[in-house]
Each structure stands twice: as C-alpha cells, then as structure tokens.
Amino acid sequence: MLRIGLTGGIGSGKSTVLAMLVERGAAAIDADAHSRRVTAPGGAAIEPIRQAFGDAFIAPDGGLDRARMREHAYTHRDARARLEAIIHPLVGQGIQRDVDEARSEGRRCLVFDIPLLVESGRWRREVDRVLVVDCGAHTQVERVKARSGLSEAQVEAIIAAQAPRALRLAAADLVIFNDGIDLAQLRTLVDEAAKSFGL
C-alpha cells in the first residue's frame, strides 16, 4: 500500500482533494480525529493525563481541558512533550487499526491527512510520498473568509503561523496547484495524481 501524506496551508483545498482521492478508492487516515477521540470524555488518554498533570486539566465533561492545557504549555516548556508522549502512542494504535482495515479491504493507497506535516517533521518518515495542495495567500484568505467569517487579518495571522509556502513546496513530491481553477479542473488534477498512485 502506497502511503501518501497530504498537506497544505489553511484553505488550500486539502479536504476537497482528500474527498476526491477517497472517491477514487483511497483510504483516508485522519490523525487529528484519533487525537480528539483519545482526549474526549472516556478517551484512553484521559486517565494518564490526569495522573501526569492533575485533575485541573480534566474539564467538567470528563475530556481534556484544551484551553487550560494550551495556557499551561506557554509557561511550562516540557508540558507539550509530556502530553505528546501520552497521546502519540494511542494515536499510533488508532492509525494502525485503520491501516489494518484498509489492508483487509485490499486498498492500494492510504492518504494520511496531516495539516502540519511540514511543521512537525515526525510524519515525513511515516509516508512514502508527500502531496501538497497549494494556492496563493490571496486565495487562501478569500476561501477561509467565505467559509468561517474570520477577518482578513485573522486568516493572515493563521497563515503566518503555519510553515512558509516555500518550505512546504520544498517538502513536496507532488504538488496540486489549486488556484484559479474550478472544482471540475481540480478533479482532473486529482485524477492524474490518483493514477500516479496506482488508483
């Protein structure tokens, strides 16, 4: 099974491309969804987090208190690493179950949806090829504004906090340039990529 890491800046069109690849028969792997699941009420990371950080980091609903943890991580430099040491192995188990299921279904291609692939670095070793969905900053701003109601300045701040476009492009094995094209034209580009992935 070919493992593709799909990434791109906010509003680049990652989710749209992923949905098109899934229509072509790829299996999607969503690491963020596993991360949310294990830190939700009753999730496997909750008791280890309670033991490592204390009750104060568990919200009244029994899930991880994300706002409190974020705040804590600003002032305690090791907090993020300690939290990740708890969460990552559990996320890894969830992903392994997805991979096993995809294999049993006879899928030829797995697409890992990893918005922060370039930022985190850790994922690069886990995939065979990196697929970057790219567009200009102006298009990112227009798309995200239309979808979310965020202001132009807010979207620009998010873009500035993400990996620079050049760095993301440098990490790519394949780029889908999703700018100035409609969804039908995007589908044509995705179909070409899918063929090169054996789909």
Closest C-alpha to 95, from 144, 37, 158: 37
Q: Is 104 one of the annotated binding-site residues?
A: no
Q: From the CB of 145, what's the least distance to ligand ATP, in Å?
A: 10
CB 140 within 8 A of CB 11: yes
DSSP string, 82-121: HHHHHHHHHHHHHHHHHHHHHHHTT-SEEEEE-TTHHHH-
Q: From the CB of 26, what's the least distance to ligand ATP, in Å?
A: 15
Residue 159 exposed, middle or buried by CB count within 10 Å (0-12, 13-18, 19+): middle
Q: Which helix (H) or strand (E) holds 77?
A: none
Q: From the CB of 19, what's the least distance to ligand ATP, in Å?
A: 8
Closer of 81 and 184 to ligand ATP (Cβ): 184
Q: Is 13 one of the annotated binding-site residues?
A: yes
Q: Is 14 one of the annotated binding-site residues?
A: yes
Closer of 35 and 178 to ligand ATP (Cβ): 178
Instruction: Give the integer Cα–Cα distance in Å for 139 and 3.
Output: 28
**Backbone phi and psi for residue 58, each to the nearest 5 degrees, phi listed first:** -105, 125
Instruction: Give the integer Cα–Cα distance in Å for 92 and 82.
Output: 16
Q: Is 62 one of the annotated binding-site residues?
A: no
Q: From the CB of 132, what's the least distance to ligand ATP, in Å?
A: 11
Closer of 8 and 43 to ligand ATP (Cβ): 8
Site residues for ligand ATP per CB under 6 A: 8, 10-16, 115, 143-144, 147, 178, 181-183, 186
Closer of 65 and 113 to ligand ATP (Cβ): 113
Question: Can you say which residues are annotated as belonging to the binding site for ATP?
Answer: 11-16
Question: Can you say which residues are annotated as belonging to the binding site?
Answer: 11-16
